[in-house]
Amino acid sequence: AQSVTQLDSQVPVFEEAPVELRCNYSSSVSVYLFWYVQYPNQGLQLLLKYLSGSTLVKGINGFEAEFNKSQTSFHLRKPSVHISDTAEYFCAVPSKTDKLIFGTGTRLQVFP
């Protein structure tokens, strides 16, 4: 069965530092991968997606993620974070029955 593991429930980081949010998946079907972001008191919005092609995917707000098939990972990175990046980040993968399976989320807290 498809599943997603986000290894870190919280990631504290200082402003302008780099950050990596980890995501590992298991999938027995064609791999599509997604990162969603949830800012405080808001719904989720799509940050970036991997469907095919280049393994390095660029998203909104300077985020990028790299699909690594051998390590079954899709880690999210940003070279320099801002206070406004404070949010919860969800990795997701489709199931065999066409639904999205979300990870448990990583709360990124950016400190000044």
Binding site for other proteins (CB under 8 A): 9, 32, 34, 36, 41-46, 49, 51-52, 90, 92, 94, 98-100, 102-105
In residues, how long is the chain?
A: 112
CA distance 99 to 84: 30
Closer residue to other proteins, CB minimum distance, 15 or 102: 102
Q: How far is the CB of 45 from other proteins (least distance, A)?
A: 7
Closer residue to other proteins, CB minimum distance, 51 or 56: 51
Closer residue to other proteins, CB minimum distance, 85 or 88: 88
Q: How far is the CB of 37 from other proteins (least distance, A)?
A: 11
Q: How far is the CB of 30 from other proteins (least distance, A)?
A: 9
Q: How far is the CB of 50 from other proteins (least distance, A)?
A: 11
- Of 5, 24, 9, which Cα lies nearest the Cα of 67? 24
User: b/e per residue, 58-92, with b = 16+ CB within 10 A?
Assistant: ebeeebbbbbeeeeebbbbebeebeeebbbbbbbb
Those residues with Cβ within 8 angstroms of residue 28's Cβ, 6 or more apart along the chain or in another chain: 1, 2, 96
